[in-house]
Structure 1
Amino acid sequence: MTAAADPITSARPDGAVPTARTAGPQGRRRRKADPFRILAFVILAALALAWLVPVGWAILTSVKTEAEAAAMPVTLIPDNGFTLSAYAETLSEGKVPRWAWNSLFTSTLVTAITVVISALAGYALSRMQFTGRRLIVTLTVASIMIPGQILIVPLFRLMLSLNLVDTYWGIILPQVVAAPMVFILMKFFDQIPKELEEAALMDGASRLRILWSIIVPLSRPILGAVAIFVFIGAWNNFLWPFIVINDANLMTLPVGLQTVISAYGIQYAQNMAQAVLAALPLIVVFLFFQRQIIKGISTTGIAGT
């Protein structure tokens, strides 16, 4: 007596098992979605190319002489070849290494303090019940909608009264309170099961112990993403350091490069070289932490805001 034929293997003459791409409505849906995927890929590739064009143009201009950078008609490849004279002039005329160190020092401190404050505040608003909690959450969300330029005058008067003008702390302290990061961490902490903390509380652990031993290890991806976002924002911040710092030895890199531009006028090759030098550290940060950045964007929902 022969065994009954398998309906799956007998569906094809060669006995091969149909896959999702070759059988069933799911396979047909996938085939229909392919043109949309191709269209989406083409659109994203075009947008990426449109973003890369000005970046490539800036790099090409920075390796030209000033005469060739300002010549008309514009040429893509210089007649006399590429040169690094614009970079050499930028490094010799200003205090670029000192400004880069100032940016690195202040951005690192801003990042460390902001992450600590935002984690403590986000955990308190997420887990602890106290009088005025809802009001604080509402004010935190509302403060996100306030333009930072409105706070410049009161912040400067505060730094002036504390004798922090022309100091590193004058740059750092106004940047360490970041309401968006508090809100992001609060929402992330809401997703962590409370049963983990309840067991620790029954064992006599304090709130700080729970935050350090349970919440922080579970939140490393989002904490890393928040740290990267804060660091990039602090590095690129121009307006506040420009207002609070007058000493050339304390200027950050964006402010210092702007003083070179103001002193020597518009020099296309040199200005592009300065822009490349200012963006180079952030490019390095992105290359090393691109996974954390992408994961942070997907986790926090920034891409949809």
Structure 2
Amino acid sequence: MSNIKRIIDSKIVGYIIGYALAVIMFAPILWMLIAALKQPGSTVTVLGELFTTKFSLESFKAVLKPDGTAMMWRWTWNSVIVGVVQTAITVLFSSWAAFAVSRIQFKGKTFIFALILVGMMVPVESIVVPLFDMITEFGWTNSYNALIWPGMMLPLAFLILKQFIDQLPNELLEAAKIDGANIFVIWWKMIWPLSKSSMAAVSIFIFIQSWNNLLWPLLVAQETSMMTLPVGIPTFQSIFATDLAVPMASNVLASIPAILVFLLFQRHIIKGISMTGIK
């Protein structure tokens, strides 16, 4: 009985700690939601006034007003275009690279694999200047090309997909070769269908990373019409203004697509990474 009581007590303590951590993590989100529902100009940094002042949707109307002064719709469209295109192309290229390094024998394969892994250890900030000079030389500044192409290869995506392809039985691929299937057919008919869960998990990571990317769009998108949400939202706030309700409303709206993508496909994250075989 004493052992059972200790187990129950330890579970209760674990639940208390877990719920406490959940409340702490949810507190900033709750503050953002409450601040967004305040009238523009309301005080949202004082706890007493945060719950006593009147709630309204005026901050959301200010963000979404169609008179052209707020470009929330345009920034959202830019973020969607960049996120979707970058995710699709990155997953495709990463899958090809992972398949080649995992299953195709060619000279320099080990060096290429090591080179891609080294890319995971190189900070993005260290290559920003030469990359920006290259984009300027191409004349791609303030264009979708500048926002999309430099981020199309993600070493982590390559590593996750390669880890999955390594687990596929050699006999399965050898049988396809005996039947006369070439490299592209093997990838299209076998690798692509079998690795859908891993690709879904990788796609979520890439999309959320692209959606939240600030540094690179801040450099190459100087025109207001080409800004993405992380770059455009801070323009609602300036050093001369103290209004936080409108920026919080824009943050709420900007968070919705990323949250929906995660909630709809969250089961693929664990399934795609933990899968070690085929059905």
Amino acid at match of 2:100: A
Gaps of 5+ in 1: 1-27, 301-305
Please tell me whether Structure 1 or Structure 2 has the larger radius of gyration of its CA atoms. 1
* Alpha-carbon distance in structure 1 between the residues aligned to 2:218 and 2:107: 40
CA contact (8 A) 2:217 2:231 kept: yes
| Aligned residue number for residue 246 of structure 1 | 222
Following TM superposition, by how much is the alpha carbon of 1:32 offset from its aligned partner in structure 2, in angstroms?
A: 6.5
Amino acid at match of 2:159: F
Runs ≥4 residues deviating over 6 A:
28-32
Following TM superposition, by how much is the alpha carbon of 1:163 offset from its aligned partner in structure 2, in angstroms?
A: 1.0
| Aligned residue number for residue 126 of structure 2 | 150
| Aligned residue number for residue 119 of structure 1 | 95
Amino acid at match of 1:241: P
| Aligned residue number for residue 169 of structure 1 | 145
Q: Is residue 217 from structure 1 mapped to residue 181 from structure 2 by the alignment?
A: no
* Alpha-carbon distance in structure 2 between the residues aligned to 1:106 and 1:228: 14
Following TM superposition, by how much is the alpha carbon of 1:298 offset from its aligned partner in structure 2, in angstroms?
A: 4.5
- Could you tell me which of 11, 21, 31 is aligned with 1:47? 21
Residues 129 and 37 of structure 1: CA distance in aligned 2, closer, same or farther (over 3 Å): farther
Q: Which one is further off, 186-195 or 58-67? A: 58-67
| Aligned residue number for residue 13 of structure 1 | none
CA contact (8 A) 1:121 1:182 kept: yes
Following TM superposition, by how much is the alpha carbon of 1:263 offset from its aligned partner in structure 2, in angstroms?
A: 8.1
Amino acid at match of 2:56: T
Amino acid at match of 1:89: A
| Aligned residue number for residue 182 of structure 2 | 206
CA contact (8 A) 1:102 1:251 kept: yes
Amino acid at match of 1:182: F
Following TM superposition, by how much is the alpha carbon of 1:287 offset from its aligned partner in structure 2, in angstroms?
A: 2.2
SS at match of 1:77: helix
Following TM superposition, by how much is the alpha carbon of 1:285 offset from its aligned partner in structure 2, in angstroms?
A: 1.3
| Aligned residue number for residue 260 of structure 2 | 284
Residues 172 and 47 of structure 1: CA distance in aligned 2, closer, same or farther (over 3 Å): same
Following TM superposition, by how much is the alpha carbon of 1:44 offset from its aligned partner in structure 2, in angstroms?
A: 2.2
1:75-86 matches, within 5 Å, as 75-79=49-53, 81-86=54-59
Q: Which one is further off, 186-195 or 62-71? A: 62-71
Following TM superposition, by how much is the alpha carbon of 1:42 offset from its aligned partner in structure 2, in angstroms?
A: 2.8
Following TM superposition, by how much is the alpha carbon of 1:88 offset from its aligned partner in structure 2, in angstroms?
A: 1.4
Amino acid at match of 2:33: I
SS at match of 2:134: helix
* Alpha-carbon distance in structure 2 between the residues aligned to 1:191 and 1:155: 36
Residues 178 and 29 of structure 1: CA distance in aligned 2, closer, same or farther (over 3 Å): farther
Amino acid at match of 1:250: M
* Alpha-carbon distance in structure 2 between the residues aligned to 1:97 and 1:218: 37
Higher relative contact order (CA 8 A, sep 6+): 2
- TM normalised by structure 1 equals 0.83
Q: Is residue 295 from structure 1 mapped to residue 268 from structure 2 by the alignment?
A: no
* Alpha-carbon distance in structure 1 between the residues aligned to 2:237 and 2:35: 16
SS at match of 2:105: coil
- TM normalised by structure 2 equals 0.90
Indicate the RMSD between aligned Cα atoms, in angstroms: 2.3
SS at match of 2:28: helix
CA contact (8 A) 1:64 1:78 kept: no
* Alpha-carbon distance in structure 2 between the residues aligned to 1:274 and 1:114: 28
Following TM superposition, by how much is the alpha carbon of 1:132 offset from its aligned partner in structure 2, in angstroms?
A: 1.1
How big is each residue's C-alpha offset from its partner over 1:75-112, in whole Å with a ceiling of 9 and x where there is no partner?
34233x31111111122341111111111011100001
Residues 130 and 73 of structure 1: CA distance in aligned 2, closer, same or farther (over 3 Å): closer
Q: How many residues align?
A: 273
